[in-house]
A and B are shown apart, each in its own frame.
Chain A
Amino acid sequence: MKSLILLSGLGVLTLLSEIFNFKRKIFPVVLLGLLGTIVLSAMYWNTNKHYFNDMMFFDNYAVAFTCLISFIAFAWFLLSQNYFNEETNLTDHFALILFALVGAVIMVSYQNMSMLFLGIETLSLSLYVLAGSRKNDLHSNEAALKYFLMGAFATGFLLFGIALIYGVTGSFNLQTIANYITLNSGNIPALFYTGVLLMMVGMAFKISAAPFHFWAPDVYQGSPLVITAFMATIVKTAAFAAFFRLFFTCFSTIESVWGNIIFVMAILTLAVGNITATYQESVKRMLAYSSIAHAGYMLLAILAMNKFSAGSILFYTAAYSVASITAFTVLSIIINKSNNEAIDAFNGLGKRNPFLAFAMTVAMLSLAGIPPMAGFFGKYYLFNAALQSGQTTIVLVAVLASLVGVYYYFKAIIAMYFKSGSDSSPVEVSFIHKLLLVLTLVLIFAMGLMSDFVIRLL
């Protein structure tokens, strides 16, 4: 809760900085604030506090995800440092991002559906604007409009679902609803199930699971690169944490209702994400599809729905986000240099800047799930959780899908090391980016080696 207040305060502070003219100093303040958020929320480990009439519940799940989100946000700010240097609406960007983080934190710690809705809306509304923040770029405008239209549609479904569930149970509280299900099992009206499924649709949209994923490639590609990075990491993590929290606390006992549907959804997502990614020439768009594919893997945790799920989903989102941040950092440096986001821009990077190429390779290998990178263990724990619940089929599909995944991740690696591009001038990397890349690389390896520690948190 303190972290939430700190984040909101930080957001307001950035707005004030515009008025009182200290906006040049706001960048380090925000970084410090994010570190503070991590510390503040980590202090609540094992306290399990309920807030304001059970609106929020800071259990270890919430604390862990708050820390994760704040950390990724920290890394993200380092990544987008030079983007902001050129940006005129500096404080607006900062404020929107920070408020989006507030939404994300609410989404991982809510205990009441009204809070879930507010969290999602706060996050989404900031992003609608941020996606369109390049006002002179048609693609950016298109992305914002599409995201907004489709997002509004999905919100409609979500809200409808919440309303139906409220109608049956008379409560927004997750625990009360869960109790209602156990008390009335076998006697629950169809209205309730419809509500559950409609909420599922709304959440599936947010995590961009097929067939509700159509917005993702267009929006990811059209948005400014750093915003895409934000959406692919923080938004995805928060949305998934919210999805899982909802289903784990509330609907885990009625798996017969949604199990098969999520099963099909997971297969579709894995197939669409991985297969379409193979044909992309733009790295940005490829990463967009890969992020869809990763949503498919994450769905396995929801299908598993056992005591391993929470830990594995934490590990997976962490591994995925860190690797994605690395990939986006390299991509942003490349785009800055050559103004080209196609895979050709990576040609010969192994010669032009071996460190960057190495970082990208590690990120790609981690995303592809090659040991000993963190991504392998993420997949491994997810598959393990699913196998524990007897979900063998979906694990087989996921393994096949990850084999397809290897193909397109390696395209980038091959381009970097085995092809030579027209431009062979060395690529410069700023100090902050170097720092960030070293940090993420260490994390990717460390998480692989100490996967056990992370997984035992939850």
Chain B
Amino acid sequence: MIKLVALVPLFPIIGFLLLGLFGKKWSKSLASIVGSGAIFASFVVAVGIFIELLGADAAHKTATFSLFEWIDAGKFSVAISFLIDPLSSLFILIITGIGFLIHLYSAGYMHDDEGHNKFFSYLNLFIFFMLLLVLGSNYVMMFVGWEGVGLCSYLLIGFWFKNTNYNNAAKKAFVMNRIGDLGFLLGIVLIFITFGSVDYATVFEQATHFTSGETVITTITILLFIGAMGKSAQLPLFTWLPDAMAGPTPVSALIHAATMVTAGIYMIARSNILFTLAPVTLEIVAITGLATALFAATIGLAQNDIKKVLAYSTVSQLGLMFLALGVGAYTSGVFHVMTHAFFKALLFLGAGSVIHAMSGEQDIRFMGGLKKHLPITFLTFLIGTMAIAGVPPFAGFFSKDEILAHVFEHNKIMWLLGILTSMMTAFYMFRLFFLVFSGQFRGTKEQAHHLHESPKSMTIPLIVLAVLSVLGGFLGLPETFHAKHLLEGFLEPVFEASEVRMLPNHLTHLTEWALMGVAVITMIIVVLVARSKYVKNNEVPVPESTTLKPAHKLVYNKYFVDEFYNAIFVKPINWLSQKFHSIFELQFIDGIVNGMGSLVVWTGRNLRYAQTGNVGFYIFAMVLSVVLILLVNYLR
């Protein structure tokens, strides 16, 4: 099966070509069968490869397959070749597996959209580029995939292109990604200059000869990390991701939660040896990740759009993954990528199902009581929420716990902030959950009448993902359980070189239990708070137009704890998150980004006036330049 690796990206591109060329004339069901079928075929091959790798001994866990030489200029040569190793096989499994489920889901979700067939062709193209990114055996191929997924993301965010806001969101995503890409590109150039090659095997082999902390390695890794920041929506380049929710929900699930945004983590995990050799960069990665996680979580507390909440939570979880990478826990980072892919895809698809039932309404203030109407969605969403909040033994618990344990080893304050983040995560996720599913329905009569469970093609993916979210965590049980950490064993060959350079600092079992305990207890408290707030007291976030009336306030006075909690915890953070959102994010960060754009346009506008149309002036400029040139020559 390993030898058939070229088939994995081949199926999606064939699917894309078929859909792109003939899709217009096809019926919707044929298009969805071709689109999903292509991904399913890839998935089958990916599974085959994965099983074969599981059985292989250590020496045969890595294999490279060259198709042909692509670029060959002087010392620089790039081959189209695929690298199969535990890391890439795991990623292709996630991409094709979840990709297939989401294709299936889209068949139901996009059924009434006129761009249905085009949508599938874009999705296939995206999967193709994503596979290219993951499977390439050198940085240039990764870059091609990187740009490709960026393009597809742009196309899909702006899929409903008649809406200007959506277009702006698409443009914003594209521009922000380009900033990151520039860093990545420079990083590749520097890698080539330093190592004389862009091939992973050569680069990593040569990197082992460098000592830790050398400037050039630090520069390379920082540049690569800038690339990762753009793609994986980290501070300060994260604002595009929440806006990207303008795209259809399956897109949010596939691209902006499960796969593309984790490309940055893949890149760092792939280049782990370089990052291990640059402790400074690792520290930057960890701090950026933590800051992003915390920052996005605070914003998540105050959002009322179901997809926005999930978007900020994605940013926050990505931050957590970077935190893991930053403290050198590469396996944990990848582990969390996997579990996150399961439960976040689940949550997004569940949200899609809700939106579908609500006829497009996304504001959680107008939902509520959906438990009765959408039983399957309710159940699966609950599992997803518990998984992300870290309720044992769901998937998120293990991966998050593992990350926090590693962070604890690294730095106690970071751990504390990490716990704070996961508390907030639990809070806003359960707030979302309660507001949507419990209580009374708050929407219009028309919507209430229309409420229905989604079709099978949408619920089956939900169920599969829910099962995965429950079981996924058992791939990486903590040491305390005296079970084998399956994932760590599997990924070992990839991170081998880094691990020998890391301090083997294992926590005692007691500490580990204690850490787990703290995490679980704080989580439970937070969930209870959320429950009392949103279920018992049926609290609903106030509509934007009304301010709190005095009478309204009095009702709340009964609950002293709530008031207290509100005053010292929710309100300041609410305020802060709103301020962050309005001042820091909208004005400062967006301002800088937009400012650069306007600077160019402004210069363009003014430079244009040099083009006066007056021949006399042109000749004057020409002669003046000649004078300057000769003067320079004379003074030389």
Contacts and interface: CB of A to CB of B under 8 A. Distances in A.
A and B touch in their complex, CB below 8 angstroms = yes
Given A257-B633, A276-B611, A406-B178, A388 B604 contact: no
Contacts of B610: 214
Label chain A's interface by main secondary structure.
helix
Contact of A371 (B147, B161, B613, B625): B147
A308 to B, nearest CB: 6
Contact of B607 (A150, A215, A272): A272
Interface stretch (A14-22, A240-248, A377-385): A377-385
A201 interface: yes
Most buried by B among A218, A275, A387: A275
Interface in A412-434: 414, 417-418, 420
B625 A211 contact: yes
Contacts of B162: 420
B600 A150 contact: no
Contacts of B605: 279
Nearest to A211: B625
A278 B622 contact: no
Given A279-B605, A308-B73, A399 B185 contact: yes
A217 interface: yes
A201 B604 contact: no
B144 interface: yes
A381 B73 contact: yes
A384 B76 contact: yes
B551 interface: no
Nearest to B192: A387
B227 to A, nearest CB: 14
B633 A214 contact: no
Contacts of A145: 615
A372 B144 contact: yes
A193 B182 contact: no
A384 B189 CA distance: 10
Contact of A276 (B71, B608, B618): B608
Contacts of B416: none
Interface in A134-168: 145-146, 149-150, 153-154, 157
Contacts of A449: 70
Contacts of A406: 178
A51 interface: no
Interface in B139-198: 144, 147, 151, 158, 161-162, 167, 170-171, 174, 178, 182, 185-186, 189, 193
Given A215-B618, A260-B632, A278 B71 contact: no
A391 interface: no
B621 interface: yes
Interface string B584-623: 0000000000000100110111011011010101110110
B543 interface: no
Contacts of B201: none
Interface residues of B, number: 49
A370 interface: yes
Given A218-B613, A384-B74, A455-B73, A153 B619 contact: yes
Contact of B633 (A154, A194, A218, A451): A194
Interface residues of A, number: 57
Contacts of B634: 190
Interface string A388-406: 1000000000010001101
Most chain B C-beta atoms within 10 Å of own C-beta, residue among A214, A384, A451: A214
Contact of B622 (A193, A212, A308, A455): A212
B30 interface: no
B611 A214 contact: yes
A262 to B, nearest CB: 10
B71 A377 contact: yes
A197 interface: yes
Given A193-B633, A381-B73, A399-B185, A157 B604 contact: no
A170 to B, nearest CB: 22
B56 interface: no
B69 interface: yes
B626 A277 contact: no
A279 B630 contact: no
A257 B73 CA distance: 28
B17 to A, nearest CB: 12
B20 to A, nearest CB: 10
A407 B604 CA distance: 12
A446 interface: no
Contact of A370 (B147, B170, B600): B147
B356 to A, nearest CB: 25
A205 interface: yes
A32 interface: no
A407 B594 CA distance: 13
Contacts of A377: 71
Given A275-B603, A308-B74, 20 more contacts: A149-B619, A150-B619, A198-B626, A205-B622, A214-B618, A261-B633, A276-B608, A278-B601, A278-B604, A279-B605, A279-B608, A280-B608, A370-B147, A370-B151, A371-B147, A372-B144, A384-B76, A387-B189, A414-B167, A452-B71
5 contacts: A205-B622, A275-B600, A278-B601, A403-B182, A417-B161
Interface of A: 145-146, 149-150, 153-154, 157, 190, 193-194, 197-198, 200-201, 205, 211-212, 214-215, 217-218, 256-257, 260-261, 272, 275-280, 308, 370-372, 377, 380-381, 384, 387-388, 399, 403-404, 406-407, 410, 414, 417-418, 420, 449, 451-452, 455-456
Interface of B: 69-74, 76, 144, 147, 151, 158, 161-162, 167, 170-171, 174, 178, 182, 185-186, 189, 193, 597, 600-601, 603-605, 607-608, 610-611, 613, 615, 617-619, 621-622, 624-626, 629-630, 632-634, 636
Q: What are the 10 tightest A-B residue pairs by CB atom distance, in nearest-first order?
A: A279-B604, A214-B618, A278-B604, A211-B625, A418-B161, A275-B604, A418-B167, A279-B605, A276-B607, A275-B603
